[in-house]
Amino acid sequence: MTQDIDHNHTLFERAKRVIPGGVNSPVRAFKAVGGTPRFVTRSQGAYFWDANDQRYIDYIGSWGPMILGHGHPAVVKAVQTAVLEGFSYGAPTEREVELAEEILRLVPSMDMVRLVSSGTEAAMSAIRLARGATGRSKLIKFEGCYHGHADALLVKAGSGLATFGNATSAGVPAEVVQHTLVLEYNHIGQLEEVFAAQGHEIACLMIEPICGNMNFIRASVPFMKRCRELCTQYGTLLVFDEVMTGFRVALGGAQSVYARDIPGFEPDMTVMGKVIGGGMPLAAFGAKRAVMEHLAPLGAVYQAGTLSGNPVATACGLATLREIQKPGFYDELSRKSRLLMGGLTQVAHQEGVPFCSDSEGGMFGFFMLNALPQTYADVMKSDSARFNQLFHGLLDRGVYIAPALFEAGFMSAAHTDEDIAATVAAAHEVFKLL
């Protein structure tokens, strides 16, 4: 390989001629941070290599699924066996049943699940089911929470209290989002006002309990408790979007984290993805039997998918779920996340750089701020210029974090204390320049 040729740049220019923006998902384009995206050629453990054969310590892990690291032997073996049996059948398999049973055993708030192929598909289907089960049209989402790119969810708040949503994407007609109410995350008073005014018209409240699309923001315990109380009072379904947090922050997901502080807590419906597929296209949504039986072929709410329950994806997901249940897995994952965040916070403060961080299980986030944000408006106060400098400084030193200020990071079982020490040392060098 010729050393003076940037193969990433060459591939990016080539990609831009045939793929909009040169990427198949916008954040990959590095538009927020500038520069040339890294085109990955291979991965193993906690690392991947780009087209220039440069190795990086990987803290995005395919945006969360690779909780075991890349190429875990047990998962690879399961996938290889499944591939030899067949890629796709368009017919049911025993492995779909096994995966569903495993998910339900670990997340007892659900009685039944439906497997799909992406988080967007799962969230979209969950909303349709909530509307069909309740006979209502309106839904609540929160500013800064991302639930995929379904039309009804591509909205932000308008002026005034809980106005009808305004589409944030071209191609989404106003009438499609007219029933979407967008509220401020962690704002109890606003939540109470909306339920008092429109509670009996609201089919569901959908929330990221630990929001990974504002970097890393927790719903406060009092806020989550009030969400549960109001949903129960008004017959609204509380939908937890655990596409990111499911099996990532704890074995029982974020709902098990909140159950520690809110006795008997559970959502009415759960949307999952990422870890349950182990890196393959697989997601799910589930609820109690009375709600799920509204789905076709039992009920009138239609949902279908040619590749739903794909035999290779379910093999990958099942092998992953079995590995993460081994004794001490989450204790060690949590320790490493805290070690990384603690190390970065310490060296930032040594150099006088505003910095704060948080983590839960194998998910973490940090801000170039003096205090952890609680809302989307707080997050918007982050120093994006400094973050971009940090991103490129780490990238130049072989550390790959999310190429956007508003994305959480992910620890894997494959990361070592040496990887974390190297990351902190690299960050320290960059902080000195800031």
Domains in the chain: ranges and CATH: 7-67+327-433 (3.90.1150.10), 73-323 (3.40.640.10)
406: pLDDT strictly greater than 50? yes
- Catalytic residue of the set 56, 58, 185, 241: 241
Q: Is 288 a catalytic residue?
A: no
372: pLDDT strictly greater than 70? yes
How many Cβ atoms are within 10 Å of 10's Cβ, its own excluded?
Answer: 14
169: pLDDT strictly greater than 80? no
Q: What is the pLDDT of residues 82-118, one digit of tens each?
A: 999 999 999 999 999 999 999 999 999 999 999 999 9
CA Rg, the chain, in Å?
21
- Catalytic residue of the set 274, 330, 358, 378: 274
Q: Which amino acid is at 330?
A: Y
Q: Is 330 a catalytic residue?
A: no
Per-residue pLDDT band at 1 (split at 50, 70, 90): very low
Q: Is 241 a catalytic residue?
A: yes
Percent of the chain whose predicted confidence (pLDDT) is above 90: 87
159: pLDDT strictly greater than 80? no
Question: What letter would DSSP give residue 148?
Answer: -
Candidates 365, 340, 355; CA nearest to 420 is 340
Q: What is the rounded CA–CA span in Å between residue 211 and residue 215?
A: 7
Q: b/e string for 51-83 if b means 16 or more Cβ within 10 A?
A: bbebebbbbbbbbbbbbbbbebeebeebbeebe
3-state secondary structure 198-256: HHHHEEEEEECCEECCCCCEECCHHHHHHHHHHHHHHCCEEEEEECCCECCCECCCHHH
- Catalytic residue of the set 56, 59, 146, 330: 146
pTM: 0.95
Mean pLDDT of the chain: 94
